[in-house]
Amino acid sequence: GTAFTGCDILAKCLEHCEQAWLEFFGASCTFDMKFGCEVVEDKRKFLHTQFPELPCIYERVEDLSQLSAYNGVKENMEVVPHVCGFAAGFTCRSRSPSNSSAAKNKGCIRAGSDSSGKAFHATQQYIEKSRPEWVLLENITPLLQDGPDSDSTYIKEWFASIGSACE
């Protein structure tokens, strides 16, 4: 499953891995994208165009954490399917260098404040409840800066607290 724009590229990469695995190792493997989640309507349409066989496109990551959400493809409420892997790139507007208020939003992930922090906490709740085998989070450089009170440190500590490794 994926949440937020850009993470769907992972599915395209895995499709190429399937082909390479067969070519180099003579063995088949498959990766199925079970769902995408995107709040912006035009981006949901893009997901549907890029992945016409995608069975589920959800709108709000907050709904994923409830493990049931409105599926825009089937136009119904349903249980969010379990996935082995989950990729998310929660919104970065709060800390983006293009945001003139970025400095005051330092620590927004830890605090769960502003759009970035709220989106991360919803993502965090989904991960805690669904427990995928692996998670890939991507974001902007300011969120990756280490330090005792940094957002990066908070994310690493959180993964450790749920018994997961974080690199």
Residue 42 has pLDDT above 70, yes or no: yes
Q: What is the tally of helices (H) and strands (E) in the chain?
A: 6, 7
Stated pTM of the model:
0.82
What does the pLDDT read at residue 78?
97
Assigned token pair, 29:
């493997």
Q: How confident is the model at residue 70 (pLDDT cuts 50, 70, 90)?
A: very high
> Please, are residues 126 and 49 in contact by the beta-carbon 8 Å criterion?
no
